Chain A
Amino acid sequence: MKLPVLIDKTVSNPIEQQASGGCSSGSCGSSQQAVNQLPADIQARVADHPCFSEQAHHFFARMHVAVAPACNIQCNYCNRKYDCSNESRPGVVSEVLSPDQAIQKVKAVAASIPQMTVLGIAGPGDPLANPERTFETFRRLSRETPDIKLCVSTNGLNLPDCVEELSQHNIEHVTITINCLDPEIGARIYPWIFWNHKRVRGVEAARILIEQQQKGLEMLVARGILVKVNSVMIPGINDQHLLEVSRVVKEKGAFLHNVMPIIAEPEHGTYFGLTGQREPTHQELQSLQDACAGDMNMMRHCRQCRADAVGLLGEDRGEEFTLEKIAAMDIDYDAAMEKRQQIQAQLLEQLHRQQAGGEVSLPDATLCSSEAQSRPVLMAVASKGGGLVNQHFGHATEFLIYEASPQGVRFVGHRSVDKPYCENSSSCGDGDSVLQTILSKLKDCEMLLCSKVGYEPWSALEDAGIQPDGSHALEPIEDAIQAVYQEMADKDLLSSESETQQQSA
């Protein structure tokens, strides 16, 4: 049987096929389903935006400049006090830049990483709570680096006041973080806001914030600026409520919804981290994303990157562009622009080619009739990028999760581990604990596709009910998954009975 690949062609078809690249596989921006469902004109606008398409993010890079340190609200999942360079989470940066320094950094990165197409201002505070610094940066970039797309993210409190100015800077995308529509729920997420020269607390604070967010969303849509909505999923607080959020923001014209899991580790010192708020499981996140997907284009590959990240999604080359290093660079931006144009045209072409080669035939009639009863199967994939099954199990720090079903193959998310099973040649298998962590992260997967896997982890994976498979090394991920699903069907492993067996095993 042939399965359709249900990738998000949302953004632009070319982009998506590459399923894995810099970020190891698919996890930064949106899933392809999301992109595919967008109207053609929007697809064209976001085709080379790495955050909006799982495929594009393997070709194109983004950067954030941290020019906006101040914030006008407090979120219970945020703590501004720490910056550890190992930490990768929004709201964290190593150094705040002046607009001048930011322009210099953008030019340096654009010249060194020609596939960088998008510049975002995302903090570390709220960009629109720092309007002078944010808009000076945008004004100069619009003029001096006209080939770079600009975007901004905000909590929305100051958004209505900024829409006019935003619409003057050729800013195509604005991301608003909207965690709730109900002020009672909001009061459990936001302890205070700074509003009209006062610190406002509780339900009243949440009510004002929500009102401003919704008003800002409507105003942006009315001006034809694309709006993506980010929501942080906080189990027990807003998880069920986000269905309603998704429905309403879609109704108002947001083009993409990105539901992200809360990061609540005690060592980050956030309210939620210190009060034992739990993070959602992968399954809970996926279920919520699936439920929202009925109403809304969902994004599934967000990496929740730092406010000063540089590079492809999932990688951060910020260290190469510290103030000291960029000061020593002499950039001829006109020359860089020419080179960028050539390289980006090649990348787009590659993306298109991949897409064309990746056409997958629709299920045939027999599949629809007789095999449609087959149950869906989750499979984990180790990939270094390029849309291929091409990574050794022991080297993977991230696994891409795909669901195969009679309806097709779809990317459902990514799961990261802190350490690979083989940290270096001498420490392979050093820690059973590392292996245990990987097993627990992948426990709902039945198959693991990778280029190779050692004997010991092979046995451990099998014992955990995850069948390793190295026979599809270097094949395109979707093709490999289809082949494996077909093999499972041939072995009669896909009836509901076999699932029961597996679960009881």
Chain B
Amino acid sequence: MAYEIVDSCVSCTACAMVCPNDAISEQDMQFVIDSTLCTECAGDFDDPQCASICPVEGAIVDELGYELNPLGSLTGIIPLSAA
């Protein structure tokens, strides 16, 4: 049970600051979640902290690849192709 950061990450560091498990660190090009440390915040918070502060839609996904912040959910911008 762990989340993953994909390459749309802009490396803003916000997720790393709020992670209760210090599971997030900066690697070469983007931030990475250590799957052995990530608990999806179970037991600590109601909502996963990284996904609650991340400003980029689609940048954090669960093990099935499901986007925690799907397109349009943060900015309200729905691309024409999806509208």
Contact = CB atoms under 8 A, between A and B. Distances in A.
A271 B11 CA distance: 21
Interface residues of B, number: 19
A493 B18 CA distance: 65
B46 interface: yes
Contacts of A304: none
Q: Which of A79, A198, A199, A269 has the most CB of B within 10 A?
A: A199
B75 A74 contact: yes
B17 interface: yes
A192 B74 contact: yes
A197 B13 contact: no
A69 interface: yes
A491 interface: no
A77 to B, nearest CB: 11
A80 B57 CA distance: 12
A274 B77 CA distance: 8
A130 interface: yes
Interface residues of A, number: 23
B37 interface: no
A71 interface: yes
Interface in B28-52: 45-47, 49, 52
A81 interface: yes
A199 B76 contact: no
Q: Which of A70, A74, A192 has the most CB of B within 10 A?
A: A70
A80 B56 contact: yes
A71 B10 CA distance: 12
A325 B8 CA distance: 29
A199 B75 contact: no
A88 interface: no
A129 B18 CA distance: 11
B13 A70 contact: yes
A81 B17 contact: no
A96 B17 CA distance: 16
Interface of A: 69-72, 74, 76, 79-81, 96, 125, 129-130, 191-192, 194, 197-199, 269, 271, 274-275
Interface of B: 10-14, 17-18, 45-47, 49, 52-53, 55-56, 74-77
